[in-house]
Amino acid sequence: MNQKRIERIWRQEGLNVPQKRPKRSRLWLNDGSCVRLRPCWPNHVWSNDFVMDRTHEGQAFRILVDIDEYTRECLALVASGRCCCICHKFCGVRIETHHIRPVSKGGDDSFENCIPLFFDCHAEVENYNDHHPRGRKFSESELRKHRDTWFSKVEEMNTLTPLPSDSPQLIQAVSGNGNMVAGRDLNIHTERVVPKTVVQTDPGGRHISNTTARKIQDLVKDYIDIHTTAGKDTQRAAQRIWSSLKNEFNVTSYKEIPAQDSDRAIQWLQAQVAMATPKIRRMAPDKWKESLYKPIYARAGELGISKDDLYLLAQERLALQKPIRSLKELTQRDLQRLHHVVIYEVKKSGNKP
């Protein structure tokens, strides 16, 4: 129903119709800006408002900021260096501006009636109960003295003392490492110091010998080459094998492995290489076959048989139709079976009395 029809019905029934309120003029422009006095020079227009934010712990806090509209500087925070004027602690965003004389007692929002305080100090100043006094309340003169003392100290720290005009000045440009710049009682070393962990080892004594260390390096290199051929990250593979080796023997360097654990370290690395070898069987079949030649010949040497006898053993145990002259003639499956055969024969010979 139309508003005008409702008013007409009210008049017919003898009811009082509310008078129309005059339309208020807008306090903002089409661009959203307020119609207010524009500052034309410093200290012309001042404004104050609460700024709200949250700490990293999620606690909300508010800051009363007095700012010059022309220079956009909050003089109270600049003059205090964002430090509390009572405890002199750097507060950063955890700072508030307090009215020295409350507004309810005739205080204004000017710079002279403002003192920056930390949250805890602001609580001590503001939340004093006059009806149940405990301790002694901060007076207005005391707050002004704290503020003026700290403001002057900050201004003194920010003011550079000019050098005498007759003082000698020396400008030097130094490049490179291991240099030393000397001037009066000041010596500056430009050498870069890199802390290094020095491991004291006893090769051949308490720790593994140099020969064992070289074998460990070769096995680690084989392990890294296998992962590189398989398309893995080389650096990550190196970090994994070295860290696993150190954790296995609880040492900070492989050279600190005890001498009595030399054989166990070699066997452990050989097992790691053997477990990683199948990763390259499809991607690099030739290299996978080459990785089996050396252990097969090594097991044959432990059995005391020559290469020709090894080839005859392969023909007999693998049921080959033609004799072979090299292990390269075997397929991947036959080569793997031959590897298992020689391992079995070595274990079988070792169990004999």
Q: Given this model, what pLDDT does residue 353 score? A: 40
Angstrom distance (rounded) from CA 100 to CA 119: 15
Please state, for a pLDDT cut of 70, what percent of the chain lies above it. 73
Nearest to 234 by CA among 245, 220, 224: 224
Angle at 166 between CA 164 and CA 172, to 5 degrees: 95
Q: Given this model, what pLDDT does residue 284 score? A: 81
> Are 223 and 241 within 8 A, CB to CB?
yes
Tokens standing for 42? 């410093």
Nearest to 149 by CA among 89, 85, 82, 83: 85
Angle at 35 between CA 30 and CA 40, to 5 degrees: 125
Residue 352 has pLDDT above 50, yes or no: no
Three-state DSSP class for residue 319: coil
Terminal Cα-to-Cα distance of the chain (whole angstroms)? 115
Q: Which residue has the tokens 């005739």?
A: 106
Residue 339 has pLDDT above 60, yes or no: yes
Residue 189 has pLDDT above 70, yes or no: no
Angstrom distance (rounded) from CA 327 to CA 346: 19
Q: Given this model, what pLDDT does residue 16 score? A: 85
Tokens standing for 17? 């119709």
| Selected residue with higher pLDDT from 197 and 264 | 264
Using one digit for the tens of pLDDT, what is the confidence trace for 66-96? Answer: 677 776 666 666 677 778 888 888 877 677 7
Averaged pLDDT score across all residues of the chain: 77
| Selected residue with higher pLDDT from 163 and 59 | 59
DSSP structure string for 236-292: HHHHHHHHHHHHHHT-SSGGGSBGGGHHHHHHHHHHHHHHHGGGGTTT-HHHHHHHH
Angstrom distance (rounded) from CA 68 to CA 42: 7
| Selected residue with higher pLDDT from 318 and 128 | 318
The pLDDT of 196-217, averaged and rounded, is 80
The CA-atom distances, in angstroms, between 234 and each of 228, 239, 243, 246, 285 are 6, 9, 14, 19, 20
Residue 117 has pLDDT above 60, yes or no: yes
Statement: the pTM of the whole predicted model exceeds 0.85 = no
User: Residue 184's pLDDT band (boundaries 50, 70, 90)?
Assistant: very low
- Percent helix, strand and coil across the chain, each to the nearest 5: 45, 10, 45
The CA-atom distances, in angstroms, between 323 and each of 100, 315, 326 are 107, 6, 9
Q: Where are the beta strands (DSSP E) in the chain?
A: 46-54, 60-68, 95-99, 114-118, 180-183, 186-189
Angle at 349 between CA 347 and CA 351, to 5 degrees: 70
Q: Given this model, what pLDDT does residue 125 score? A: 79
> What is the CB-side half-sphere exposure of residue 300 using CA atoms within 13 A?
19
Angle at 49 between CA 46 and CA 53, to 5 degrees: 140
User: Residue 196's pLDDT band (boundaries 50, 70, 90)?
Assistant: low
Residue 330: count of CB within 10 angstroms of its CB: 20
User: Residue 106's pLDDT band (boundaries 50, 70, 90)?
Assistant: confident
Q: Given this model, what pLDDT does residue 216 score? A: 92
| Selected residue with higher pLDDT from 153 and 157 | 153
Residue 134 has pLDDT above 70, yes or no: no
Tokens standing for 291? 């990785």
Residue 101 has pLDDT above 50, yes or no: yes
| Selected residue with higher pLDDT from 205 and 239 | 239
The CA-atom distances, in angstroms, between 217 and each of 278, 283, 304 are 21, 25, 28
Using one digit for the tens of pLDDT, what is the confidence trace for 243-272? Answer: 999 899 988 888 888 888 889 999 899 888
